[in-house]
Amino acid sequence: MQFCANKLDKKDFFGKSDPFLVFYRSNEDGSFTICHKTEVVKNTLNPVWQAFKISVRALCNGDYDRTIKVEVYDWDRDGSHDFIGEFTTSYRELSRGQSQFNVYEVVNPKKKGKKKKYTNSGTVTLLSFLVETEVSFLDYIKGGTQINFTVAIDFTASNGNPAQPTSLHYMNPYQLNAYGMALKAVGEIVQDYDSDKMFPALGFGAKLPPDGRISHEFALNGNPQNPYCDGIEGVMEAYYRSLKSVQLYGPTNFAPVINHVARYASSVKDGSQYFVLLIVTDGVISDMAQTKESIVNASKLPMSIIIVGVGPAEFDAMVELDGDDVRVSSRGKYAERDIVQFVPFRDYIDRSGNHILSMARLAKDVLAEIPEQFLSYMRARGIKPSPAPPPYTPPTHVLQTQI
């Protein structure tokens, strides 16, 4: 909504007032809680404030008839802002939009009590009012949007020889290694949003049998035509099988697996599908420039990338790809939106040995940004969720009555 005011009281000795508005929501007990402040418009008695957005919940707790109190102040540099006056309204009144009903007299009760002739300290007018329904991630899921989950695992030599206990890929018969734990923790949550629970699982940075060629996107199940694994358990099996057959090598190139998923994502941009790529890596990256280029291109597509860093390395490069502090760019082009979430696995290793708790925390933080990244894609493309189908009711069997 947007407001302006006319003929406000002059409060400053030199020059006019510097007015701003403060909005309060009323609480059940009659008290008021501040919910919005406008900017200050300098040196005018007829300010026009910028339009602002606020949730209905913050403004009136969803109660359309609850009092909303608005105070008008004159800004002073020392923080002792002068009270000009106040008025009350409600969401229902405001929702009528710009009309004679939405011109409010600004009244200063002290002045009103003292002066017989006092009418008001100016007026505030509502210029525009627009309501948008905020849709949630789940509205899209209910409407049938599919989440496609792809896993990519770092098979480079910097991880250490899988036969050695010091290796991040150590094949311990008694417990999961760091890669296994990260895969399971994240995968078990994502798989609930994936209807067919068939996940493409890829590896990168290894020499493949029989000829030892180096690959940066190979199918863990050995079938490039059909890299899908059945559920997270299927992914885990294919991961362990690959460890036995491939040779860890290098370099560590992320761009090929990102481009692999981007090819699929670019073929369905209508909001019916969204792609999540989980890269589990020791964080030593060789193709930083190409990876940034891939991320900038992928930021236009319905996809997100989760990077879980395992092992003790410095993950500066991964933090840079995350783009939370500085948006990722390549050759002067910036990513359209933030699509990468990086978490270091070591922050979640529970010292007390309680893996279940630490894995739950890992999954929560890893997936925390996905709904917002998903919504940012849908909003930018103007895609609304499809209506949810009616809830399933089992057919009622009509009993045949025998005569």
Range name among 104-118, 176-190, 337-351, 352-366 with the lowest pLDDT average: 352-366
Question: What's the first-to-final CA gap in the chain, in angstroms?
Answer: 70
Residue with tokens 């992914």: 235
Residue with the bigger pLDDT between 319 and 193: it is 319
Ranking 148-162, 168-182, 386-400 by mean pLDDT, the lowest is 386-400
Q: Backbone phi, then psi, for 270, in 5-degree steps?
A: -90, 5
CA distance 104 to 5: 9
Residue 182 CB partners (closer than 8 Å, separation 6+): 280, 308, 310, 345, 362
CATH architecture of the domain with range 137-381: 3-Layer(aba) Sandwich (3.40)
The torsion of the CA quartet 241, 243, 246, 248, rounded to 10 degrees, works out to: 170
Tell me how many degrees the CA angle 359-138-304 measures, rounded to the nearest 5. Answer: 60
**How do residues 273-289 score in pLDDT, each as one tens digit?**
999 999 999 988 999 99
Cβ pair 313, 284 in contact under 8 A? yes
Beta carbons of 83 and 102 less than 8 angstroms apart: no
pLDDT value for 400: 62
Q: What is the C-alpha radius of gyration for the chain, rounded to an integer number of angstroms? A: 29
Spatial neighbors of 170 by CB under 8 A, at least 6 apart, are 160, 162, 163, 164, 177
- Report residue 398's pLDDT band, with 50, 70 and 90 as the boundaries: low
Closest Cα to residue 70, out of 102, 114, 116?
102
Q: Which CATH number is 2-128 given?
A: 2.60.40.150
- Domain chopping of the chain, boundaries: 2-128, 137-381
- pLDDT above 70: percentage of residues in the chain: 98
Q: What is the pLDDT of residues 291-318, one digit of tens each?
A: 999 999 999 999 999 999 998 888 999 9
Whole-angstrom Cα distance, residue 83 to residue 19? Answer: 10
pLDDT digits 0-9 by tens, 206-248: 999 999 999 999 999 999 999 999 999 999 999 999 999 999 9
Packed helices 255-265 and 288-298: angle between N→C axes, nearest 10 degrees: 10
Task: Give tens-digit pLDDT for 13-32.
Answer: 777 899 999 999 999 898 99
